[in-house]
Copies of this chain bind each other. A is one copy, B any other.
Amino acid sequence: MSSNNLNVEHKLNEKSVKPTAVRNLVLKYLVERGKAFSVSDLEEAFDTIDKSTLFRTLKTFEQNDLVHTIDDGTGKLKYALCTSSCNSSTDHQHFHFTCQKCGETFCLPKTELPSIELPPNFAILESNLVLKGLCNDCNT
């Protein structure tokens, strides 16, 4: 077993997620890929694993703070690995960037939100902050 596999199993145990075959494979792929991904990306990478299993696996990962979701407006929910700085569920408030040409989605370093004029008695619990434009590769 490679050190990568051990690493991944460790990550899963740390979050009390039982390290099954599928979960190990998926998490390993995510770590190695390093970018935000959709379920279709996973379906392509693992054509023997059923998509319902993939959705369920990711839901489990999300509930256990291994990944967070980003709705980048492409019609497919994207997932990104949580860093140590996004452990608590209130702490996903970083911006994301989606390239309109290649469709790739990136997490941006944590930035303080400006103070936002909310209507009275509104409470913010979460956010989905997506900037769109061109990434380095596509910005001619």
Q: Tell which of B71, B73, B135 touches A122, judged by Cβ atoms closer than 8 Å.
A: B135
A25 interface residue (CB < 8 Å to B): no
Kindly identify, within residues 101 to 133 of chain A, every residue whose CB is under 8 Å from any CB belonging to chain B: 106, 108-109, 111-114, 116-133
List the interface of chain A (C-beta within 8 A of B).
71-73, 95, 97, 100, 106, 108-109, 111-114, 116-136, 139
B114 touches A114 (CB 8 A): yes
A114 → chain B closest CB, angstroms: 5
Contact of A126 with B132 at beta-carbon distance under 8 Å, contacts A71-B73, A112-B114, A114-B113 already known:
yes
Contact of A133 with B139 at beta-carbon distance under 8 Å, contacts A108-B116, A119-B106 already known:
no
